[in-house]
Structure 1
């Protein structure tokens, strides 16, 4: 009886074209995956105040962890190495920010004078040009703008209060990111081993290897992106200095920060430099600055990106652009910043999971030295060797 039912079922299945069966199977599996991703996105959206600082701490740990491991390999206690790297990193960031702010304050009076002179010249051009806009019409436009500001004062005030609340969340996230970064640098391997311990025992090794591969890709991405950002800042900043554009150093620092969003960031920050050049030096200088920005972008897109980022993350330029676009649509600037490293980590991890012959990365010399320098405590049982050679 059961055999006849199975035979009838097989006959009914064979009556359906194979293309339709495969399409149906792929369709419901795709719907399940998309539903899971959607639910995960909703959950992460509710706790974004925690997720974003942790993600930023992971990026920073990818930049600083090799330095901590290098110090630990030379028999510096890991706690001391973590403290030295954090203090040194904070000192560098604080010094750069102080230098940029002081340069902006010092150059602001000159920028203000040049802006006023440019506005006066623009006003004369409007009056004497083909538009023949006189002073009375310009004053009427300014009066309309003032009336609009007064009419929307309540909206602007509420927006300012919202900004103040956002600033409070920013400070909270900054403290959480710093706290998380300390533990990632000091005890990141044990944290990861705890996470892999949640996986079934028969796949725990492959999950560990995939995580190590993903973190290696993240380290390569952060290093390559930082180098590309430095080249962008030096190229555009040098062009601004040669052309005598005010606030060249703060604008170069802005280009450096924008360089951490591949392809899009340097263009956006370079547009600010073009706008400053247009207001202060005129359209001829602005066109030259556009040429400098385009030249730097060609160097980045045709040389640095394929040579550095391509080797580090093994992603096509189209995948990078699409990831940035989707990240910007979903979460704005933060999404654009985190999209590419997320895709890079997923790409490396999934490739490792799909590779059945992957043996995993062997221990590096730094990890071997660190292993020898930090023997297990007496009250702890030694853990078995992991693919990275660390405990």
Structure 2
């Protein structure tokens, strides 16, 4: 009995040592544990039941793969969204114009709402905007009609002066070169008359599309001005409780950025137009008012629109006032560009748009490649809105579901 009781502790300790040895030297019980431990797996193709080490994937590669397929999914979704918007580009453009009109007229409608009903305030604000637009167009038409005869004579004389200037040093063109170019243009127009007529008919169809977009934009802006806040509240109420707070924050940030950009770009464009109009009037360049209006609308395309409009003004100055005045207009391009980039944009639009100039330039180019002039106009406000929404959602991530 003593011998049996004395051998029990030795037997128990030996069993524990055997089990500990099995746990320390044996293979992991699961495949995941074997993968994490980096141990050896039996290879079915190895002769004699040998084994080889399993290939271990780098954590960096795993992270890159995880981000890669997510970026692919996001890219596909963004592509489908833009494909749908491109399919219905007229409706998209009309809604964008309605948002622009709403951003511009909302302060006026809010002021009128203090003395009259909201519906009447919306109608009065839209009528004032339409009357202002027609007044500007009438001013342009009257200016062009009043200066047309003198402009034609000055343009013919300017072309002759340019021809004589090009015939001298340093160009030394052959006499009659411009006359030959004009004759070739006339022959081209005569030989392609049918194509030009078809193009004009296509332009009529585009004019109908433009009028359709304008009517739809006015129709949408009426409802945006009258009950835009209630429409947004209704939309938020259709979302799940968890999504209401981030959507509300994102919508508020997007609208603040969009209205700030729209009102800021109008101020910048109006300032540029006034400066160009005054400078062209002082230099006695014909069509100063239409060229100033052209500068106003061209300024809606950042970094590109103003130089193009002033280049047109330089051509008119070269044909009517000579090379010296044209050089002054070219210098005006540089001065207004510096004023717009270093004074107007930082003062007027710094709160609404915080984008690097390179981002603005790339956005304008990509937008123009994707959708022409409309894409160039829409690109910068779209990128600004997306960036502001990202900043708000990064600071205020989605929280728990709300109780209300």
**TM-score normalised by L of structure 1:** 0.84
Gap regions ≥5 residues in structure 1 = 360-383, 386-391
Q: Is residue 237 of structure 1 aligned with residue 277 of structure 2?
A: yes
> Which residue pairs with 1:121 in the alignment?
161
The CA deviation at 1:14 is: 9.8
> 1:272 pairs with 308, 312, 315, which one?
312
Structure 1 stretch displaced more, 160-169 or 274-283: 160-169
1:94-173 alignment to 2 at 5 Å? Answer: 94-125=134-165, 131=172, 133-135=174-176, 140-173=180-213
Whether 1:24 and 2:74 are equivalent positions in the alignment is no
Counterpart Cα distance in 2 of 1:318 and 1:140: 43
User: Matched residues in 2 for 1:143 and 1:246: separation?
Assistant: 26
Deviation at 1:8, TM superposition (A): 4.7
Query: Contact conserved, 1:251 with 1:273, CA < 8 A, in 2?
Result: yes
Structure 1 stretches (4+) deviating beyond 6 angstroms?
Answer: none
User: 1:259-297 CA deviation, whole Å, 9 max, x = no partner?
Assistant: 122221111111111111111111110011111221111
1:55 aligns with 2:96: yes
33, 38, 42: which is aligned to 1:7?
A: 33
Q: Deviation string for 1:96-115 (max 9, x for gaps)?
A: 11112211211222211110
Output the CA distance in 2 between the equivalents of 1:14 and 1:200.
45
CA distance, structure 2, for counterparts of residue 207 and residue 342 of structure 1? 17
Query: Is the 8 Å Cα contact of residues 161 and 322 (structure 2) preserved in structure 1?
Result: no
8 Å Cα contact 2:303/2:361 also seen in 1: yes
- Structure 2 distance, partners of 1:123, 1:274, is 17
> Greater Rg, structure 1 or structure 2?
2
For 1:242 and 1:152, how far apart are their aligned partners in 2? 41
DSSP-derived class of the 1:235 partner: helix
Structure 2 CA distance for aligned equivalents of residues 289 and 345 of structure 1: 35
In structure 1, distance between residues paired with 2:220 and 2:78:
25
**Residues 9 and 195 of structure 1: is their aligned pair in 2 closer, same or farther, counting only changes over 3 Å?**
farther
Bigger drift between 14-23 and 317-326 goes to 14-23
| 1:70 counterpart (103, 111, 119) | 111
Deviations along 1:291-345, one digit per CA (max 9) or x if unpaired, are: 1221111111011112221222222222222211111111111111111111122
Q: Deviations over 1:202-239 (max 9, x none)?
A: 12122012101110111111111111111111112111
Residues 1:215 and 2:262 are matched in the alignment: no
Q: Which residue of 1 aligns with 2:14?
A: none
Shift of 1:95: 1.0
Query: 2:74 aligns to what?
Result: 33
Q: Aligned partners of 1:139, 1:88: CA distance in 2, in Å?
A: 49
CA distance in 1, matches of 2:143, 2:37: 80
Structure-2 residue corresponding to 1:181? 221
After alignment, is 120-129 or 277-286 more displaced? 120-129
Q: Which residue of 1 aligns with 2:231?
A: 191
Q: 1:216 to 1:126 in 2, by over 3 A?
A: closer
CA 1:120/1:64 → structure 2, altered by over 3 Å: closer, same or farther?
same
Any conservation in 2 of the 1:229–1:257 contact (CA below 8 Å)? yes
Cα distance, 1:139–1:256 mapped onto 2, change above 3 Å: closer
Gaps of 5+ in 2: 1-28, 39-53
Look up the match of 1:92.
Answer: 132
Q: Which residue of 1 aligns with 2:8?
A: none
1:277-296 equivalence runs, <5 A: 277-296=317-336
Secondary structure at the aligned position of 1:313 is classed as coil
Query: Could you state the TM-score of these two structures normalised by the residue count of structure 2?
Result: 0.82
Aligned length: 358
Deviation at 1:76, TM superposition (A): 2.9
**Larger RCO, structure (CA 8 Å, separation 6 or more):** 1
Contact 2:243–2:398 (CA<8 Å) still a contact in 1?
no
Alpha-carbon separation, structure 2, partners of 1:236 and 1:132 = 33
